Each structure stands twice: as C-alpha cells, then as structure tokens.
Amino acid sequence: MLVHALVREDGTVDAGELYTVAGSLGMTDQQVRLCVKRLVGEGRFVQEGRGRRATLRAVADVTGALAPDAAYVRHAYRQDAGRAPWDGIWHLFAFAVPESRRAARDALREGLLHLGAAPVQSGLYVTANPVAELVEAHARHLGVLDTLTRLTTTDLRVGGTTGPRELAAALWPLDEIAARYERLAAFAASRLARLTGGPEPSDGERLTATVELAAHFTWAMTPDPLLPPELLPATWPGGRARRLTADCWQRLRETHARGAAPAPALRLFALYADVLNV
C-alpha cells in the first residue's frame, strides 16, 4: 500500500522517500526491502539502483491498489451535494447457484456485497442503488446469469420492519461504518489544522500525511454501501468526513506545489483531484 501510494505521475517511486515515510509510519528498513523485492519479483516494478538511492518504476498503474473506485467516490460526493436523491425504489437480487459451481456462487455473492447490497436471507440481497446492470454483467462473466433473478419494489418488508430508515439500520452495519467515518474525520481535521496553522511541512511530513489520509479514506469508504441520505440518520458523519478529506487533500496539493523544486506529483493527487471536483 505504501509503495503504491508513493507512485508519482511519471510512474516512479523514489526509494529515499519510501524509506523516510516508512520510518515515519513505524516500519523498518527490512520490511521495505522485503516488500520491494516481492513487488519486483511479481513484475509490478522495475528497480534501478540500490538502497535509498534506487528508483522503482511501475510496470503498470497500480494506484488502484490503494484508492477506491473513482466512480464510487464521485457518487458519494454527489450524494453529499444533494445531487443523487433516492427514488424510493429497492433493488433485489436472488440467485440459486448449485454447489457444483461454488466458486462462481461465492464470486457473485462477493460482487453483490462489493456493490453495497445486504443479505436479506439466503440467496436474496437488496440495495437502494440501481446497480442491476453491473450485477448482470458480473453474473454473465461468471456464467451464472441464468440463475439470477432481479426485481424492484417500493414496498419492502423484513419481518415487521417496513420504514426505509429502520430497514437500512437493520440490514447494514451502520454503527460500524459511522465509527470509521468519525475516525477519518478526526484524522483529517487534525492534519488540516497542522497544514493551516503550523509551519510548512517538510517533504517527508507531507508524503507521510498523504499516505495516511489515503489509507484512512479507503478504510472508511470501503465498507460503505453509499445508502442515499434519505435512509441514513440525520447525524450521519460520512459527508463531514468526506468534506474534511477533500479540504485536507487540497491543502496537501498546495503545499506540494509551493515547494522550491517539487518532484513530480503523486498519481493519487491526480486521481483525487479529478474525483473531488464534482
């Protein structure tokens, strides 16, 4: 994750920066050496030089290993801005894949969970977002489209629960997700205070903050089904955490640009700059 986060726009990683940031995060030089050796062995990077003077060159764009899907993040910010209101429709998916195709069944289940669907009962999943085309494409790729049934309804009842917000609270682990956003908000606020009220950060401090912010953001966003605001508690912390993240990210970009002789910007800056301009 750390190596991927430090990939610059020219596809390189400066080993000196890598070791410095790793040390700031409590990692040892040996951990870094072993990680680099593995990444080179897997063909993801080519190493030029040795030790802290080396340069790693990415064979492919590996930024996605750290950052959430751009379309997913963009949708979250659209929701925060009130530009993706809920139409009141629940989207349900049911499947009955035989045991002989267990791998495909498990992959379909994981795909639904990744898209924010929640299990209602065995083989039945629901989401408030219109992801039918994505689910069907995934099922077709797995060769199990013939086992998939989908439907929509505005009258979802689970046991005696019928209210949309009550259903959301019962189906998704909202308390756990909210706690992650609270942690992200606290971290982003603390870093933003340092960037706005303290001395200009050194290159190592800025890079460390960048990696930490990206990791916290991904950790908070990954389990979020991005339920419409109409289904969330009024005090939901997701929007505030994302606003603080965007402000902090902008500050980090500005401090990089003010450097006397700034190195090529990280690919993460370009990725988030595109996503946050919603």
Residue of 139 and 266 predicted with greater confidence:
139
**pTM score, two decimals?**
0.80
pLDDT of residue 63: 47
Residue of 272 and 261 predicted with greater confidence:
272
DSSP symbol at 158: B
Reply yes or no on whether the pLDDT at 120 is more than 60. Answer: yes
CA distances from 222 to 41, 153, 230, 242 (A): 28, 27, 20, 13
pLDDT of residue 37: 92
- Helices 238-257 & 203-221 angle (0-180, nearest 10): 160
- Name the phi and psi angles at 202, rounded to 5: -75, 170
Reply yes or no on whether the pLDDT at 36 is more than 70. Answer: yes
Mean pLDDT over 172-195 rounds to 95
Q: What is the pLDDT of residues 55-89, one digit of tens each?
A: 998 886 554 444 557 778 888 999 999 999 999 99
